[in-house]
Amino acid sequence: MPISDTAVARAADLVAAARKAGADAADALYVRSQSTAVSVRLGALEDVERSDGETIGLRLFVGRRSASVSASDLSDASLGLLVERALAMAREAPEDRYAGLAPEDRLMRGTVPDVDGDDGGETAPEALRDRALAAEDAARAVAGVTNSEGASASVGRTTIALATSAGFSGGYATSGHGTSAAVIAGEGGAMQRDYAFRSARHLADLEQAAAIGARAGTRAVERLNPIKIGSGAMPIVFDRRVGTGLLGHLVGAITGSAVARRTSFLLDALGERVFDTGVTVVDDPLRVRGLGSRPFDGEGLSTARRDLVADGVLTGWLLDSASARQLGLEPTGNATRGLGGPPGAGTSNLWMAAGSLPVDALIADIGRGLWITELIGQGVNLVTGDYSRGAAGFLIEDGRLGPPVAEITIAGNLRDMFRAAVPADDLELARAVEVPTIRIDGMTVAGA
């Protein structure tokens, strides 16, 4: 029997036990994770880690009172105690009129969609070691690299199953392969560090280790001898690897819980233009081999591609069942679920669609600006939209990249930043969250 069927049976049996013990409703999430990671440094094996564990989480309801518990001991005796403890906790919990399982008529029915998230292969530790060494060797071969923080290669597989007393049960498995390298360039107080990594569901889709390592080495060397600049307003260009944070702030502002608590700077923006015309932000949980793909959400609802922003207009919120009830709306199939608590809401494979301008054209008319490759700190207020982050990157002068820049702060307000965002045409769908290079004019820079 496939492992996902076994997993589904475990979750369904726990739900049945909870109902038999007196719960009015229940759901259970089963997760089994297996992983192997090999780390090397300076050409020598440094560490081998292997983990294999399974955990099950139970959420049950007594009227409008609920409790969530989890266990890694899946013996019958342990699960029996788990149910007893959850029932006792629920009976003492405060009532929550919005709590409950997803609406039964919204649950996914039929065959679970195949997102091709598991390649079914195995990678021996020796092969992982060789991949890590190849990445580090390529990074150290870049002229100017003087030391290494190491490189690693990993492989893993996760099995997920969800069952609810409302009639849903389903499961799926995902595999994961990754390679990373981090190195240091320069000497003494002038040293600079940088890194590169890549991950994929299928090993066949993973970028070659040597390319990842070479990118880490090149990035570190390019950061040597940074200059300081003065303060002022100027165009900011976000490199693809840091521009994803802008979508993270968007998601935080349109998640149902933030809207229901009225703690979002986009509280009044539904159906309004929040980006410029032509900008589209997509969430696609069914993208084949996507790192964030899932055939159903954390409550058993069907998932589907959505344009969260269409032609610059905010089209809807990200809602689990509880936040949907609070807002008088329907859940959107965006529920995310951990093992020890109620569902929240989030995204899967999220990206901003590519624009029409090549990167060279995007920056061609910038007389003086900044290309940002690193962001530091968490200075973002999602209630007001105020944005202030430490940053590093490169000066842009007369439409071309200049010397590296460090010790600066960039600031603005996310509402203004979103409306001013201009995406380039260089989108690559390699991570769970992706953006093309993004230009935002009029931000404030605080320098030396």
pLDDT in tens, 357-414: 999 999 999 999 999 999 998 889 999 999 999 999 999 999 999 999 999 999 999 9
Gyration radius (Cα) of the chain, Å: 24
Mean pLDDT of 431-437: 98
Instruction: Report the distance separating Cα 428 and Cα 233, nearest Å.
Output: 30
pLDDT in tens, 27-63: 999 999 999 999 999 999 999 999 999 999 999 999 9
Instruction: Report the distance separating Cα 271 and Cα 254, nearest Å.
Output: 12
Mean pLDDT of 427-445: 97
Structure tokens that stand for 22 in this block: 């007196």
Whether residue 298 sits in one domain with residue 234: yes
Q: Hunting for tokens 């790192």 — which residue is that? A: 291
Nearest residue to 193 via CA among 227, 226, 217: 217
- What is the per-residue pLDDT for 111? 85
Calculate the average pLDDT of the chain. 96
Instruction: Report the distance separating Cα 34 and Cα 14, nearest Å.
Output: 22
Give, in degrees to the nearest 5, the angle at Cα 115 between 353 and 34: 110
- What is the per-residue pLDDT for 136? 98
Whether residue 287 sits in one domain with residue 216: no
- What is the per-residue pLDDT for 338? 87
- Check pLDDT > 90 for residue 155: yes
Q: Measuring CA to CA, how many Å separate 380 from each of 74, 238, 373, 390, 421? A: 41, 16, 18, 11, 17
Q: Measuring CA to CA, how many Å separate 159 from each of 156, 175, 234, 303, 366? A: 10, 9, 48, 18, 49
Whether residue 158 sits in one domain with residue 111: yes
Q: Any idea what the CATH number is for the domain that residue 212 is in?
A: 3.30.2290.10
- What is the per-residue pLDDT for 37? 98
Q: Hunting for tokens 């990594």 — which residue is that? A: 197
Which stretches of 119-166 are DSSP H helices? 125-140
Instruction: Report the distance separating Cα 195 and Cα 197, nearest Å.
Output: 7
Please report which confidence band the pLDDT of residue 277 belongs to, taking 50, 70 and 90 as the band edges.
very high
Whether residue 185 sits in one domain with residue 70: yes
- Check pLDDT > 60 for residue 416: yes
Mean pLDDT of 346-361: 97
Nearest residue to 239 via CA among 132, 372, 410: 372
Q: How many domains does the chain have?
A: 2
Which stretches of 223-270 are DSSP H helices? 240-254, 256-261
Strand order in the sheet with 65-71: 65-71, 44-62, 25-41, 145-164, 169-185, 192-200
Query: Of 221, 247, 275, at which residue does a domain stop?
Result: 221
- What is the per-residue pLDDT for 433? 98
- Which amino acid belongs to residue 199? S
Whether residue 236 sits in one domain with residue 157: no
Whether residue 119 sits in one domain with residue 15: yes
- What is the per-residue pLDDT for 1? 45
Q: Which helix (H) or strand (E) holds 215?
A: helix 209-222
Whether residue 240 sits in one domain with residue 205: no
Structure tokens that stand for 200 in this block: 């994929």
Percent of the chain with pLDDT over 70: 99
Whether residue 100 sits in one domain with residue 15: yes
Q: Hunting for tokens 């150290």 — which residue is that? A: 140
Whether residue 255 sits in one domain with residue 371: yes
Please report which confidence band the pLDDT of residue 2 belongs to, taking 50, 70 and 90 as the band edges.
low
Query: Of 201, 221, 241, at which residue does a domain stop?
Result: 221
Query: Of 221, 239, 269, at which residue does a domain stop?
Result: 221
258-282 in b/e form (b: 16+ CB < 10 A) is bbbeeebbbeebeeeebbeeebbbb
Per the structure, the complete domain to which residue 259 belongs is given by 226-448
Q: Are 279 and 421 in contact (CB under 8 A)?
A: yes
- Which amino acid belongs to residue 309? V
Using DSSP, state whether 391 is helix, strand or coil: strand
Q: Are 173 and 157 in contact (CB under 8 A)?
A: yes
Whether residue 205 sits in one domain with residue 123: yes
Residues 6+ apart with CB under 8 A from 56: 10, 11, 14, 28, 29, 30, 31, 70, 71, 74, 79, 82, 339
Q: Hunting for tokens 């290309």 — which residue is that? A: 371
Whether residue 252 sits in one domain with residue 370: yes
Whether residue 192 sits in one domain with residue 253: no
Q: Are 247 and 350 in contact (CB under 8 A)?
A: yes
Please report which confidence band the pLDDT of residue 147 belongs to, taking 50, 70 and 90 as the band edges.
very high
Q: What is the value of pTM for the model shown?
A: 0.94
